[in-house]
Amino acid sequence: MPSEELLIDADGHILEPPDLWERYLEPKYRDRAIRIRVGDDGREYLEIDGKRAVLTSPTLLASLGGMKALQELGDQIENINAEQRGKMAERSGQKHGFFDSLESVAPKESYVGGAAFGAMDMKERLQLLEREGMAKSVLYPTIGLLWEAELFDAELSGAYCRAYNRWIADFCRDSGGRLVPIAHLSLGDPAAAARELERAVKDGCKGAFVCPFTITRKPHGHPDHDVLFAAAQNLGVPLAIHPTLEPPQFSVHQRFEDIAWADWFLDLFAAAGVPQAFGTLFQFGVFDKFPRLRAVVLESGAGWIGYWLDRGDAIYRRTALGGTVPLKERPSFYFKRQCYISADPDERSIAALTGLVGEDRFFWASDYPHPDHPGNYLEELRGMVAGMTTSARRGVLGENVARAFNLI
Q: Is residue 106 over pLDDT 50?
A: no
User: Does residue 372 or residue 377 have the better pLDDT?
Assistant: 377
d(CA 32, CA 70): 34
The span from the CA of 295 to the CA of 316, in Å, is 20
Query: 68: pLDDT confidence band, cut at 50, 70 and 90?
Result: low
- DSSP, residue by residue, 269-289: TTTTHHHHHHHHHHHTTHHHH
| Domain extent listing, the chain | 8-31+116-404
Amino acid of residue 331:
P
Query: Quick one: pLDDT at residue 44?
Result: 97
Tell me the three state secondary structure of residue 177: coil
The whole-number pLDDT of residue 380 equals 94
Q: In terms of pLDDT, which residue wins out, 304 or 96?
A: 304
CA distance 392 to 360: 7
Task: State the pLDDT confidence band at 294, using cuts at 50, 70 and 90.
Answer: very high
Q: Across residues 90-98, what is the average pLDDT?
A: 49
Average pLDDT, the chain: 90
* 3-class state of residue 373 by DSSP: coil
3-state helix, strand, coil in the chain (%, to 5): 50, 10, 40
The radius of gyration of the chain from alpha carbons, rounded to an integer in Å, stands at: 21
Instruction: Say yes or no to pLDDT of 69 above 80.
Output: no
Can you list the alpha helix ranges (DSSP code H) found in 50-97? 58-62, 67-73, 76-90
pLDDT at position 180, please?
98
Is residue 70 pLDDT above 80, yes or no? no
Distance CA 161, CA 169 (A): 12
- Top CATH class, 8-31+116-404: alpha beta
Q: What is the pLDDT of residue 371?
A: 84
Interval 227-255 mean pLDDT: 92
Distance CA 161, CA 194 (A): 12
Mean pLDDT for the stretch of residues 339-366: 97
- Residue 84 pLDDT grade (very low, low, confident, very high; cuts 50, 70, 90): low
pTM of the model: 0.91
Q: In the chain, what is the greatest distance between 2 CA atoms, to the nearest angstrom?
A: 62
Name beta bridge partners: 295: 239, 339
35-38, strands of its sheet edge to edge: 35-38, 44-48, 51-52
Question: Does the pLDDT of residue 308 top 80, yes or no?
Answer: yes
Higher local confidence (pLDDT), 257 or 76: 257
Q: pLDDT tens, 163-220?
A: 999 999 999 999 999 999 999 999 999 999 999 999 999 999 999 999 999 999 999 9
pLDDT tens digits, 57-67:
999 999 998 75
- For 21-50, the pLDDT digits (tens) are 999 999 999 999 999 999 999 999 999 999
DSSP output for 293-346: --EEE-SS-STHHHHHHHHHHHHHHHSGGGGGS--SS-HHHHHHHHEEEEE-TT
